[in-house]
Structure 1
Amino acid sequence: MFVPPRCPYAACTAHLTPTVQFFHRDGLYHPRCRAHSVQRYRCRLCRRRFSRQSFRADRNHKKPHLNAPFLRLMLACVALRQSARILGVARRTVERRFLWLARHAARFHSNRLASLAGPFMLDELETFEGNRYQPVTVPVLIEPRSFFLIASAAGPLRRKGRMTPAQRRLRAAHEAVHGRRPSQSAAAVRAVLECLRRCLVSQGPVVLHSDRKPLYDRLGRRLFGRRFRWAPHSASARRDRNNPLFPINHTNARLRHFLSRLRRRSWCVSKRRLRLQQHLEVAALWVNYCRPITNRTGTTPAQALGLAPRRYREEEVLAWREDWGRLPIAH
């Protein structure tokens, strides 16, 4: 039976410091989206009414039963338009639900990040937005023993590498219209390392395994000072289980497998970099808290690090509000 843990209204004193009997029951109502009635309550302090729905993440949704299936589709390499066809709803419905899902996933993950000791592993994968003359770098930071995805980001790059004369002319024509594309690899890597800094244990070295890109050492020393220990490895070594960077290589390969926006030679590529970043937030929610590390075990990365008591179902991670920070909701 649900017991309200606090008043859901932030201006009420019972929101942060609720007393034992800060509420009383105050009737029932029948929401259209549920088959059963829902109990109403009234706060004794602010005199405002609320219900169990006030604490749920899907409190304003007309079709909350779509949330868990939609999350599974977003990690099954299905694009938004096809998701709408499968779920039998309009494309605008899944577009709005995707934005909600990304916000909820980011809050859920942020509220549970704490006391990571490392070592850590970092690498960048590349994709593009719109067309191949707008490359995007995606730095991914993990805890390698549990494959826990700590943080990711997306930043623009200028197209580089070998190009034919025709491709160079096309790049010049593109830049004449849109301007020279900035390279923000450093800003994207810094963003994921800043996220790591907020959830580190207070003492001990910060060991970072990566390839030999000098940027990682420079940013690591700038952010972590004398605690930072860089462990560079060759990026050209065979990418098998004996490769010291196998965990991050495997994580990047799985992200390309799970996310339609990261598939190579696909028309599901992101049109906007922000949407790719939001899709990565959704991936972190599912990979860390719902999917086992391997198919043979039921242990998730969050369980292995002690950040979750058990493996969560998709319905559970989408059930309760996360916009109150680390304030728990008893359920």
Structure 2
Amino acid sequence: PNQDCLFYNKNDHVIKAGFYYRKDDSRHIKRFKCKHCLKKFSLATFSTAYLQKKRRVNHQVRNLLSSGVSMRRIAILLDIHRTTVERKLLYLAQVARVKQQNILAELKNQVTHLQFDDLITIEHTKLKPLTVTLAVDKIKRTMLGVEVGTIPAFGHLSYKSVKKYGKRKCEHKATITKLFESIQKTISPDALIESDKHHFYASKVKKFFPKATHQQYDGGRSCIAGQGELKKKHFDPLFTLNHSCAMLRANINRLIRKTWCTTKNPMRLKDHLDIYIEFHNSVLLGHT
């Protein structure tokens, strides 16, 4: 606890110093003391929930955030303030990233069949679109990672976007680069990687996975309104990926196509995605 103490990492210099009752979750927390510098600390000192209040609702907030419930509705259901839900989102995202790293580190074998693609959503308005790059293990359906970045508006909205908000930075390539860097050690060098025929996917795959086989498929247009990821095909080679994207839209309120809830900050969308991915892998798929 006290890194200035020469004996802070020596177990024989630490003794018990009683306990205290934590009213927040009705637990008795043990205290300890260093015999050399006389500094005291407890089991809660190094916890990610240190100094946090309302610990009892953490698990419920995590489940509701991963089940299509908005942050305002969570505050109403749990009888807490909206600011509390915002703070829980940051904390749960931090915990989810650590758990996701542990899940990937504990995989018995490297991923041999990878699928990746982009999901388009918005930042408050359709004039400010965002790209969400997702990577999925086709065999086990494990969501390996996700990254969020800004992209300029396209089509008939591009002129209005530039006129109202100015030129928008394109982070599409940067998100794919960041995603591949984070999962590179998890993917087998000779893996089969599948995606659609985006014009720069091939160069990115070749850069990070030079020995892998990259198979690209034609992207199908949606034939049902609001079902962009669920293509009406006799055979969809990217079904696992498209199904995972559909689950993101179904279970993360701000990604639903017809919704009042929109993302105001791309970083909070990334936090929300990290929470759901850990929930998906550990609860829905049972990778604990």
Q: TM-score range by the shorter chain?
A: 0.7 to 0.9
Taking the aligned partners of 1:41 and 1:90, their CA distance within structure 2 comes to 34
1:122 touches 1:210 (CA, 8 Å); kept in 2?
A: yes
| Cα drift, residue 173 of structure 1 | 4.2
| Cα drift, residue 75 of structure 1 | 0.9
1:74 touches 1:259 (CA, 8 Å); kept in 2?
A: yes
Could you say if the C-alpha distance between residues 244 and 92 of structure 1 is closer, same or farther in structure 2, counting changes exceeding 3 Å? same
Taking the aligned partners of 2:44 and 2:273, their CA distance within structure 1 comes to 28
| Cα drift, residue 290 of structure 1 | 2.1
For residue 287 of structure 1, give the secondary structure of its aligned residue in structure 2.
Answer: helix
Taking the aligned partners of 2:194 and 2:250, their CA distance within structure 1 comes to 23
Taking the aligned partners of 1:12 and 1:260, their CA distance within structure 2 comes to 48
Structure 2 unaligned regions, length at least 5: 222-230
For residue 120 of structure 2, give the secondary structure of its aligned residue in structure 1.
Answer: strand
Number of the residue aligned with 2:82: 91
Number of the residue aligned with 2:92: 101
2:68 touches 2:251 (CA, 8 Å); kept in 1?
A: yes
Number of the residue aligned with 2:146: 152
| Cα drift, residue 158 of structure 1 | 2.1
Taking the aligned partners of 1:77 and 1:271, their CA distance within structure 2 comes to 17
- Within 5 Å, which residues of 2 pair with 1:15-30? 19=11, 21=12, 23-30=14-21
Could you say if the C-alpha distance between residues 251 and 240 of structure 1 is closer, same or farther in structure 2, counting changes exceeding 3 Å? farther
- Within 5 Å, which residues of 2 pair with 1:17-56? 19=11, 21=12, 23-44=14-35, 47-56=38-47
2:25 touches 2:54 (CA, 8 Å); kept in 1?
A: no
- Per-residue deviation, residues 135-167 of structure 1 (Å, max 9, x unmatched): 111110011111111111111222224x3xxxx
Match of 1:129 among 112, 123, 138: 123
- Per-residue deviation, residues 233-273 of structure 1 (Å, max 9, x unmatched): 23228556942211111100001111001000211111222
Please tell me the residue identity of whatever aligns with 2:257.
R
TM-score normalised to structure 2 length: 0.86
Number of the residue aligned with 1:234: 218
Number of the residue aligned with 1:62: 53
1:239 touches 1:249 (CA, 8 Å); kept in 2?
A: no
Percent identity between matched residues is 24
Please identify which structure carries the higher strand content. 2
Matched, 1:184 2:177: no
Please tell me the residue identity of whatever aligns with 2:282.
Y
Structure 1 unaligned regions, length at least 5: 1-7, 294-299, 303-307, 309-331
| More contact order relative to length (CA 8 Å, sep ≥ 6) | 1
Number of the residue aligned with 2:267: 274
2:69 touches 2:253 (CA, 8 Å); kept in 1?
A: yes
Could you say if the C-alpha distance between residues 47 and 72 of structure 1 is closer, same or farther in structure 2, counting changes exceeding 3 Å? same
Moved more, 233-242 or 53-62: 233-242
1:240 touches 1:246 (CA, 8 Å); kept in 2?
A: no
TM-score normalised to structure 1 length: 0.75
Could you say if the C-alpha distance between residues 46 and 252 of structure 1 is closer, same or farther in structure 2, counting changes exceeding 3 Å? farther
Could you say if the C-alpha distance between residues 183 and 30 of structure 1 is closer, same or farther in structure 2, counting changes exceeding 3 Å? same
| Cα drift, residue 132 of structure 1 | 0.7
Match of 2:257 among 245, 258, 264: 264
| Cα drift, residue 56 of structure 1 | 3.1
Taking the aligned partners of 2:235 and 2:99, their CA distance within structure 1 comes to 34
- Per-residue deviation, residues 282-322 of structure 1 (Å, max 9, x unmatched): 1111111122x3xxxxxx2x3xxxxx4xxxxxxxxxxxxxx
Number of the residue aligned with 2:236: 243
Moved more, 24-33 or 101-110: 101-110
For residue 90 of structure 2, give the secondary structure of its aligned residue in structure 1.
Answer: helix
